[in-house]
Amino acid sequence: MAHRVLIPTPLRPYTGQQDAVEVDGGTVGEVLATLTSRYADLRRHLYAEDGKLRHFVNVYVNDDDIRYLDREATALKAGDTISIVPSVAGGSAASDTSTSPELTNAEIERYSRHLILPEVGIDGQRRLKGARVLCVGAGGLGSPAALYLAAAGIGTLGLIDFDAVDVSNLQRQIIHGTPDIGRSKLASARARLSALNPEIRIETHETKLSSANALALFKEYDVILDGTDNFATRYLVNDACVILRKPNAYGSIFRFEGQASVFATTEGPCYRCLFPEPPPPGLVPSCAEGGVLGVLPGVIGTIQATETIKLILGAPGTLIGRLLLYDAWSMRFRELKVRRDPECPVCGDRPSIRELIDYEQFCGVTPQAGVSASASAGVEETTVEQLKARLDAGLPTFVLDVREPHEYQICRIPNSILIPLGQLGTRLSELPNDGREIVVHCKMGGRSAKAVKLLKDQGVDAKNLTGGVLAWIDRVDPSQAKY
């Protein structure tokens, strides 16, 4: 009996870019075994060394999590769809209107299209005016979310960020403009939001969210909107929301796919119920490494803003207990059930996490930008200056580029040979064994460190180029464009 297995974007490099695969089997376990024998590289992404499914990979049959069915022994019937859902680099807050502020005549005019909706009306708009919402991040997700929340009349809008606007942000971070390049994101966002709606109060927190400041910051708000772009901050936001019982309007994006939900309400599950542990560092690329369709955060951030407004209005039908999946490339929305896990370490019946922990350590990342500790450990490195000197001296060298073909088109090291990381295991025969030194690089050094490890396991010596092709352009060949 053949079943359709839906493959999410981060795993498609291991299935020849297919988004769905037909696989035979009577149970989920049989289907996954056949799938991973057909696509061997997929196996190490789905299964840990002990042969168990990894914790950050959830498997669904139709819209049910197999953890609440018979796990891998779950029997399949004709027409069942199996979804693999990995984590990707993310209660009613309705207040009593008697304490909500009155609307001024200017506000009644401004919000008139809300006021004539019976579901919002004067009372609802007063709730929005009395509400305090915190956007964590003023980037891809925070941009559309903050714009719509400001326009909708959220009385106090908090923003946390510590970055400056870069030209590469503007493809998706629509709250910022070209004249803002180099300016702090918060200064830029404040100017744009105040111009949009001078009636609201904007509170900016120019700081990196951490275990030391999260509780004090979140305590002052009614709803937290998670617009973060890394796992450490995502778990931090989740745990702080659970500890304080603040609803978390969650969103995350990767390439063409997004997720949204509402976590940490009194009745619903939290992010850890869905993904108890983060993926090992480096396994799931960041948006900087993997790319993101610019309009995607527009859709997901707008969904987060919608859910935030509904939470404040006390509306039914929020995403509590549901994970919404959006694939922009096939233009499909799907949704999966998420249950509160009684064993959840933070919101379960016997929580083991009662205060905030060290999330960078929990996620296995070092403060070094982009390169994880485990990816670079034990890997021999070389610098772009050393490589340039080798090439200039005519020393026998094989420069291996493990990026993707579309990245190679943007910029490259002369005479480098392209074998994308996902294909390296099956194309080892293309590497020289004539004593040439093999220098491996990618964009910034993360993927190539993994490639050097993979080669070492196969008995091939190679060096990792520290900083990747970006360092080459910065320090050797500034004539090329960076990305």
The catalytic residues are 287, 442
The tokens for 387 are: 């490589």
- Eight-state DSSP code of residue 11: G
Q: Is 426 exposed, middle or buried (0-12, 13-18, 19+ CB in 10 A)?
A: exposed
Nearer to Zn ion, 76 or 274 (CB): 274
Backbone Cα Rg of the chain: 24
Cα–Cα nearest to 185, from 134, 233, 138, 133: 138
Cα–Cα nearest to 160, from 138, 183, 192: 138
Distance in Å, CB of 272 to Zn ion, minimum: 4
Q: Which amino acid is at 263?
A: F
Distance in Å, CB of 240 to Zn ion, minimum: 13
Nearer to Zn ion, 136 or 347 (CB): 347
Nearer to Zn ion, 188 or 238 (CB): 238
Distance in Å, CB of 231 to Zn ion, minimum: 16
Q: Which residues contact 258 (CB under 8 A, 6 or more apart)?
A: 251, 252, 296, 297, 299, 300, 325, 326, 328
Distance CA 357, CA 368 (A): 19
- Eight-state DSSP code of residue 247: -
Could you identify the residue written with the tokens 């510590």?
A: 162
Distance CA 209, CA 414 (A): 41
Distance in Å, CB of 263 to Zn ion, minimum: 8
Q: Which phi and psi angles does 172 have, rounded to 5°?
A: -145, -25
Nearer to Zn ion, 14 or 235 (CB): 235
Strand partners, 225: 135, 249
Distance CA 219, CA 314 (A): 20
Residues that bind Zn ion (CB under 5 A): 270, 272-273, 344, 347
State the CB neighbour count (10 A cutoff) for residue 419.
Answer: 19
